[in-house]
Structure 1
Amino acid sequence: MQEKMGDMVHSGNPSPQNPKKANLMDPHSIKHLLDESVTELVTGRGYVEDVRMSNIRLFLGIIIIVIALVAQFYPKKFPQNRDFLIGCIILYIVFNGLLQLIIYTKEKNAVLFTYPLPGSFNSTGLVVSSTLPRFSDMYTLTIASADPKSISANKPVHFTKSVTQWFTKDGILVEGLFCKDVDALINQYTGESRKKNK
């Protein structure tokens, strides 16, 4: 993967003021940079980020931390605190299970949830998700409806491309190329590309 990135340098001028750079030896760095750029591009199209899921996750995380701290610093020592510790362990497992269930069923590989586009007739927002498998240079970006059962939900769309198409050998993101691919995918989801072709 690293060799391909080093060899495949594409033309295009990254932003001269603040070029976005990733460590090409670190797939997590690459995915993080691409995901951040996708979020900027989608919100730049007028979509407002829906942070409710993040807030729920944060709230559950705080509860889990509080339970652990209370169990740790409870004034009584074992075995006097045995029943209390058992209760804390049960609560810890329950809330941690809820958190994992939300991550597994709702978030999955999502990097962005949005509200419906302001002023549109669409009653559902977007879920933007991505994957970059370990030891692979193939980045998959998917755009789907936040409420697939909604009558206004469109079919999910996605592309899978090598990250070597968007980075120079120095690890700088060629934003113009990446933006073009993401914009085309958004247009494909919203149907704008079909409207333009008519």
Structure 2
Amino acid sequence: MTTATTNGTTATPPTKTPKKTNLLDHNSIKHLLDETVNEIVTSRGYKEDVRMSNVRLFIGAIIIVIALFAQFFNKKFPDNKNFLIGCIVLYPFIYVLFNAILQLIIYTKEKNAFLFTYPPAGSAYNSTGLMVSSKLPRFSDMYTLTIASADPKSISAKPTVEFTKSVTKWFTKDGVLVEGLFWKDVEALISDYKDSKKSK
């Protein structure tokens, strides 16, 4: 069985332990499909861009450090009374501020995206990476996968492509993912994106 290549040829999943999920768990299904899409996209030569994730982790780390600093400040009560008052007053403001920044990043940049990539190796200098997002509404079996440019304002950005299909197409009744079928559909979508005309 062949594996994916970076020259645009169709790939098939390598032989390995079958992926299984609980078909009654909406989040578990979406997580498994998203994880597999990530694997497929990166196997096609698109290296994951983790800068956005690093920004979110950094902001979260700042919030935790502030809380730990307040908790373990090297003075005992009542010597640290003024410091604690300052923390009590400032921490909610700082928490709200950084949380607002996180929500702004998610709303304006990430949305439903679970994967950002760099342009594929060897591509034109002005090509863009991908932003891959998905939706699986609660109480629905319809999974929507969307591939868009990671930089939609770029002159090299291509039109967004997507498909919406029932997850029942890709799973056995026991919850095992039929990877061959799923890989075929995802790779067809990647090819549609690559072959689409540039946005004007």
TM > 0.5 between the two? Answer: yes
TM-score (norm 2): 0.84
**Farther-moved stretch of structure 1 (125-134 vs 80-89):** 80-89
- Map of 1:33 onto structure 2: 32
1:8-47 aligned within 5 A: 17-47=16-46
User: How many Å apart are 1:176 and its aligned residue?
Assistant: 0.8
Match of 2:165 among 161, 168, 177: 161
Q: CA deviation at 1:118?
A: 1.2
Q: Give the structure 1 partner of residue 107 of structure 2.
A: 104
- The CA deviation string for residues 119-172 of structure 1, in whole angstroms up to 9 with x for no partner, is 111431000000101111000000000000101100000000000000000100
The whole-number CA distance in structure 1 between the counterparts of 2:168 and 2:103 is 33
How far did residue 90 of structure 1 move? 1.6
Q: 2:148 aligns with which of 124, 144, 156?
A: 144
Question: What corresponds to 1:115 in structure 2?
Answer: 118
SS in 2 for 1:184: helix
Deviations 1:85-143 (A, max 9, x none): 21222212111111121122111111110001111114310000001011110000000
Question: Quick one: distance in 1 between partners of 2:117 and 2:94?
Answer: 32
Supply the RMSD in Å over aligned alpha carbons: 1.9
* Percent of paired sites with the same residue: 67
Q: Which moved more, 1:177-186 or 1:85-94?
A: 85-94
CA distance in 2, matches of 1:188, 1:17: 28
> How big is the shift at 1:34?
0.3
1:84 and 2:87 matched: yes
Q: Give the corresponding residue for 1:185.
A: 189
Q: Give the TM-score normalised by the residue count of structure 1.
A: 0.84
Letter in 2 for 1:140: T
The secondary structure found in structure 2 opposite 1:20 is coil
Q: Which moved more, 1:98-107 or 1:25-34?
A: 98-107
**Counterpart in 2 of 1:133?**
137
Q: In the TM superposition, what whole-angstrom CA distance separates every residue of 1:59-97 from its partner, at most 9, and x where no partner exists?
A: 011111112222334444596332332122221211111
- Give 1:43 deviation, angstroms: 0.5
Instruction: Indicate the structure whose relative CO is greater, using CA pairs within 8 Å and at least 6 residues apart.
Output: 1
| Partner Cα distance (2:123, 2:16) in 1 | 34
1:94 maps onto 2:93 in alignment? no
- For these two proteins, the number of residue pairs brought into alignment is 180
Deviations 1:15-72 (A, max 9, x none): 7630010111101110011001100100010110000011111101111111222233
Structure 1: 5+ residue runs without aligned partners? 1-13
Structure-1 residue corresponding to 2:9: none
In structure 2, the partner of 1:5 is none
Q: State which drifts further: 66-75 or 33-42.
A: 66-75
- Could you tell me how far apart the structure 1 residues matched to 2:103 and 2:114 are? 16
Residue 57 of structure 2 is matched in structure 1 by 58
